Amino acid sequence: MIAAIGFGLLIGILLGLFGGGGSILAVPALVYGAGLSLAAAVPTALLVVGVSAATALLPRLRAGLVRWRIAGIVGGTGAAAAFAGAAVNRLLDPRLVLAGFAVLMMVAGLRMLRDAGECGGDCALPGGGVNWRGCLPKAIAAGLAVGFLTGLFGVGGGFLIIPALVLLLGLTMPAAVATSLVIIVANSAAGLVAHVGDAAVDHRVAAAFTLAAILGSLAAARIAARLPTERLRRAFAWLVLAVAVFVGVQTVLNPAPV
């Protein structure tokens, strides 16, 4: 239970600071830290990430940072694709899923270490408008990819959504963070529904994990604007890489509990 609270705080803090990233740690934290089976960890992770993302979104709503149309397109297509990802998850060996998860974390961590590049593009024109002819297909493609991975790995997708919104769609980092939280809530809810009935969830662990994540996300969201975002982003990238290595080694040496 102590491990669940500690990991919950960490995941909430990461969501509050970055608008994503906590979800990539939720499944391995629940499997290796709280001792849940993979089947139980996936829906629990989706619940924790969805609730804590909604909490971290609240202060950003007041700032008017959310790009609602883009969030609707990416989140809507992602919600549909999450069911396909969950279906594939049921067909695969749990160790294979965790191995794929480790590879995905490695790729995400390396991508985060790279420079974000200039903002702007079809979805964020210099005057503040949107070129929907170019933006729409990009937003749909991003939503389908992230949603599928949400269902497959039990993640909210923020660690993929934010690079997609910044690099592919051209949003500024503050707008990408706020918009990603809306998409994470939608994807997590769809993924959770898709996994209902897969395994019995330990409600005590889930409650402790979720409450800790809410407290962490509220505290982190208040101080996010005062912290050096670039340094935090790079530090988190290294953390993701470290967790990827850990999960990969554990997958090879010790089968996950099922």
Q: Please give the chain's pLDDT, 258 residues, in tens.
A: 677 788 788 888 888 877 776 767 788 788 887 788 877 888 888 888 888 888 888 888 887 888 999 999 988 888 888 888 888 888 888 788 878 878 887 887 787 787 655 566 778 777 667 888 888 998 999 889 888 887 887 665 666 787 778 777 888 777 888 898 888 888 788 778 877 776 667 788 888 888 988 898 888 877 776 777 677 677 777 877 887 888 788 778 765 444
Phi and psi based region of residue 197 (left: phi greater than 0; alpha: psi -120 to 50; beta: remaining): left
Q: Does an H or E element contain 253, and which?
A: helix 229-253
Q: Are 64 and 134 in contact (CB under 8 A)?
A: no
Q: Are 181 and 53 in contact (CB under 8 A)?
A: yes
Where are the chain's structural domains? 2-253
Q: Are 56 and 21 in contact (CB under 8 A)?
A: no
CA 143, 107, 45, 16 torsion-angle sign: negative
Q: Are 124 and 171 in contact (CB under 8 A)?
A: yes
What pLDDT is stored for residue 258 in this prediction?
A: 46
What torsion, rounded to 10 degrees, do the Cα atoms 191, 212, 110, 119 define?
80
| Bridge partners, 121 (sequence order) | 124
DSSP state of 121: B
Q: What is the C-alpha separation between 156 and 143, in angstroms, rounded?
A: 12
What pLDDT is stored for residue 136 in this prediction?
A: 92
What pLDDT is stored for residue 167 in this prediction?
A: 74
What pLDDT is stored for residue 140 in this prediction?
A: 93
Q: What is the C-alpha separation between 72 and 124, in angstroms, rounded?
A: 16
Q: Are 21 and 234 in contact (CB under 8 A)?
A: no
Instruction: Report helix, strand or coil for 124.
Output: strand
